[in-house]
Chains A and B, each alone.
Chain A
């Protein structure tokens, strides 16, 4: 058999699709800890990776899982973990390690109701700000938000490519409903997918630095290939050596932030629906966008000029597009399965009337609530 899922149409769930998308993207190392609702990813990886010569290890906790995938990536393997809220909290410190050491890896966070243990089996969207600001210090994270089984597959591949291109951990913020609902998955043949392969350094000739802060991308070295480089969680210079100097912090940090900021146009992805001449724009992501789209369709039938904007990358924030939209629309409506998180960024950037809809974590949002808000916003 081939290593990847054969092309065809499947009726399957988001967790299956994420796993197979990762394998197609070249993931050959998975470390994780069981947690509802993402455990099926770990279970499928434990079966799939060994049979294609990859490595699977169930770690003692999510801290260890995150450390192990950063380690494995430094030894040259595309690596991944999957978790949910409590585990995602435990991973934050080593997500920062991946950021400062510029190590590509993937963290899939399947959001559930919180805070704390919350309701493990039920949906939430309370981690979206954590994917932006969860690890301490300044970061420029990249977060994808799938809203279907198809996107669970496709965006996992996109996320692996982004991790390699920008040399950093990339987060997939899925949710319990997307992970568990079943629908159609169309898989193309392997050669139709664009896969960014790991670029690595050749053996150092004695003078090469580990990093180059004036360049957005410098290939990384792989453990055991004779490069003899130092990889450090401390602020480090281009040689990779630790430093206490403010100017080194400035150079390193601005490089870490700019490599994403300068490339925002390439990274940012979104979907737009009925945005021509719309007075009301619903900004929704993940499972909530499915309810929002349905509500907007009904509103349009009623003659209401409503549209939908769906950020596919939550971060970097689609700042340019939201600014443009705010100049030709009157109201943003931001429904979320939380008590107002992404809405803050929409309001801050848009600077127009921004209404929040707070869905209590625990259920798929009721489209009628969004529809009602659209109707009230016109009257």
Chain B
């Protein structure tokens, strides 16, 4: 297995935290992970982008050779990736912020992460909801490793974030992949 993943969002949405959590959880599961980051030149409020390669073997080349999964919390993230999405690419989006064209619908998982995180009284946790979705859809790391990564990163907010993660995981399962 070797997957190319891009995560995209606007400053403040926690896209880098999401990417690092995914990397940490996959490393916990013995996977090889490499992650590069890029930011818009604006100091605040611009886009941020993380790209990950997750593999069963050690990774030489740090860049993506194909986009297997795009996780985006902003429309811009989808629009800028359209010409890089191949027939085997999948898209995970925040439903309230990204509208997916009909041609992509069958390969998309649209999640109301913002709404879910609010309902779980963790309004900043939309990124963690998407982490749960990512885990169940891609099978790149186990639920247990996801929980461990969250516990390490947010020792003071373990329950609220694990709540978001588990709920996201269930949402992902519904899509049956």
Contact = CB atoms under 8 A, between A and B. Distances in A.
Assess A/B contact in the complex (Cβ within 8 A): yes
Interface of A: 9-11, 121, 177, 180-184, 287, 290-291, 293-294, 297, 364, 367
Interface string B1-40: 0000000000000000000100110111000111111010
B33 A290 contact: no
B24 A11 contact: yes
Nearest to B26: A11
A183 B35 contact: yes
Given A181-B36, A183-B33, A293-B61, 18 more contacts: A9-B27, A10-B27, A11-B23, A177-B62, A181-B34, A181-B35, A181-B62, A182-B20, A182-B35, A183-B32, A183-B59, A287-B62, A290-B61, A290-B62, A291-B60, A291-B61, A364-B36, A364-B63
7 contacts: A11-B27, A11-B35, A180-B37, A182-B23, A183-B35, A184-B27, A293-B61
Centre residue among A184, A293, A294 by max chain B CB count within 10 A: A184
Contacts, number: 50
Contacts of B36: 177, 180-181, 364
Interface of B: 20, 23-24, 26-28, 32-37, 39, 41, 59-63
A367 B41 CA distance: 26
Contact of B60 (A177, A181, A290): A290
A181 B33 CA distance: 10
A360 B33 CA distance: 27
Nearest to B31: A184
Contacts of A121: 39, 41
A10 B25 CA distance: 10
A217 to B, nearest CB: 38
A184 B27 CA distance: 7
A180 B63 CA distance: 13
Contacts of A364: 36, 62-63
A103 B39 CA distance: 39
A297 B59 CA distance: 12
A9 B59 CA distance: 16
Contacts of A183: 32-35, 59
A182 B60 contact: no
Contacts of B60: 290-291, 293-294, 297
Given A177-B62, A290-B61, A294-B60, A184 B32 contact: yes
B117 to A, nearest CB: 24
A367 B53 CA distance: 16
Nearest to B22: A11
Nearest to B19: A182
The 6 closest A-B pairs by CB, nearest first: A294-B61, A182-B35, A294-B60, A11-B27, A11-B24, A11-B23
Contacts of B28: 9
Given A181-B36, A182-B35, A11 B20 contact: yes
A164 to B, nearest CB: 32
Contacts of A293: 60-61
Contacts of B35: 11, 181-183
Contacts of A181: 34-37, 62
B33 A11 contact: yes
A246 B60 CA distance: 51
A367 B26 CA distance: 25
Contacts of B24: 11
B34 A182 contact: yes
Contacts of B33: 11, 182-184
Contacts of A287: 62
Contacts of A291: 60-61
A4 B85 CA distance: 44
Contacts of B32: 183-184
A14 B71 CA distance: 25
A289 to B, nearest CB: 9
A182 B28 CA distance: 14
Nearest to A183: B34
Contacts of A294: 60-61
Nearest to B36: A181
